[in-house]
Amino acid sequence: MNVIDLRSDTVTKPTAKMREVIFNAEVGDDIYGEDPSINELEAYSAELFGKEAALFVTSGTQGNTLAILSQTQPGNEVIVESNAHIFWYEGGAACAIGGVQLHPVPGTRGVMTGADVEARIRPKGNVHFPQTALVCLENTHNRAGGTYWSLDQVKEVKDVADKHGLKVHMDGARIFNASVATGTPVKEYAKYVDTVQFCLSKGLGAPVGSVLVGPKETIQKARFWRKRLGGAMRQAGIIASAGLYALQHHIDRLEDDHKLAKKLALGLKNLGLDVDPDSVKTNMVMLRFADCDRLLAKLKEKGILAGLSVPGVIRFVTHLDITEEDIDTTIKTIAELI
């Protein structure tokens, strides 16, 4: 059976061209700094984001964790939006490894205002309070349904962070989706944050890896932490080459994923289902449904996979391996099932 996998954009398989690039990748021992493919990916990423340095890491979770570890001290507090991936889905890494406390701030569709953030910053010089060190933004925002931050919204938080001497990290697992949807170059977003983590293994379609970009000194600290956590790899140019290929060839096509997500949302709306097509900003569709488990199980029997985002909400994610025909089949199948 041909499976239509809409659970996540993490499920993509390398394309034939990407496999060819992997096959031919030049490699070396990265712990000696000798893997040409990794060095090229890091240099390319730093340039693309207008940052001094970049670090190839195993996953988005590792990139976020290294960003926190290299910009905080144990006992510090880190402000995150209350539905942030860092808060929900990273196994408590910031706390378990970095010894920091996360301070969740409710946002609107994943976006915090400068005032939201400022109200949560702890007063300095009072022995009762943990000291706020870092603010983390998520762009696009996963649990909010692939919503993006505008550049002005990022600037507003950056201004507050600067005023209080805080660093800003962007969990940009899907920053290219935000960039394509808003027309904002990633370099512009990066101007108003200290570090950005972006995933190669999501919409960009590479099999493994993320990149953390930022100032040289911060990335050097992150490199140290990556080694300490066992994330320094050897001839990992095998996977980095796929990441570089994805960065060079798979950004513009994200627009197609966004169109298909919109098409799916409109199709489901036309079936009378509880979906808001206007809220579909990038490659995710959130369907509010009374019995999600039953619908998901029925869909699975028909070869269509989706996942639960939050209780009562099914998430569909479009990506490189999803065609227009797959979306038509999905809408038709759901029409038959409900």
Residue 8 engages ligand TLP in binding (rule: CB under 6 A): yes
Largest interatomic CA distance in the chain: 63
Residue 65 engages ligand TLP in binding (rule: CB under 6 A): no
Contact 200, 210 (CB under 8 A): yes
Which of 121/174 has CB closer to ligand TLP?
A: 174
Q: Please report which residue ranges of the chain form alpha helices under DSSP H.
A: 16-23, 36-49, 60-69, 85-88, 93-96, 114-120, 151-163, 175-182, 186-191, 216-228, 237-249, 254-270, 292-301, 324-337
- H-helix or E-strand spanning residue 286: strand 284-288
Options 54-62, 75-83, 230-238, 318-326: segment touching ligand TLP (CB under 6 A): 54-62
Options 25-33, 59-67, 175-183, 244-252: segment touching ligand TLP (CB under 6 A): 59-67
- Please identify which residue in 170, 173, 196, 244 interacts with ligand TLP, judged by CB under 6 A: 173
Chain residue whose CB lies nearest ligand TLP: 60
Residue 60 engages ligand TLP in binding (rule: CB under 6 A): yes
Which of 3/337 has CB closer to ligand TLP?
A: 3
- H-helix or E-strand spanning residue 79: strand 77-81
Which of 142/147 has CB closer to ligand TLP?
A: 142
Which of 64/184 has CB closer to ligand TLP?
A: 64
Residue 113 engages ligand TLP in binding (rule: CB under 6 A): no
Which of 39/177 has CB closer to ligand TLP?
A: 177
Rounded Cα gap, residues 275 and 268, in angstroms: 7
Options 53-61, 151-159, 181-189, 241-249: segment touching ligand TLP (CB under 6 A): 53-61
At closest approach, how far in Å is the CB of 32 from ligand TLP?
A: 26
147 C-beta neighbours (distance < 10 Å), count = 23
Rounded Cα gap, residues 315 and 325, in angstroms: 19
At closest approach, how far in Å is the CB of 319 from ligand TLP?
A: 10
- Please identify which residue in 5, 30, 171, 194 interacts with ligand TLP, judged by CB under 6 A: 171
Residue 147 engages ligand TLP in binding (rule: CB under 6 A): no
Contact 71, 60 (CB under 8 A): no
Task: Build a one-symbol-per-residue string for 85-104: x at contacts with ligand TLP by CB under 6 A, - elsewhere.
Answer: x---x---------------
333 C-beta neighbours (distance < 10 Å), count = 17
- Sort strands 53-57 and 210-214 into parallel, antiparallel or unpaired: antiparallel
Number of residues that bind ligand TLP (CB under 6 A): 15
C-alpha closest to that of 251 among 180, 164, 321: 180
Rounded Cα gap, residues 336 and 338, in angstroms: 6
Which residues bind to ligand TLP, rule: CB under 6 A?
8, 10, 59-61, 64, 85, 89, 138, 142, 171, 173, 199, 201, 210
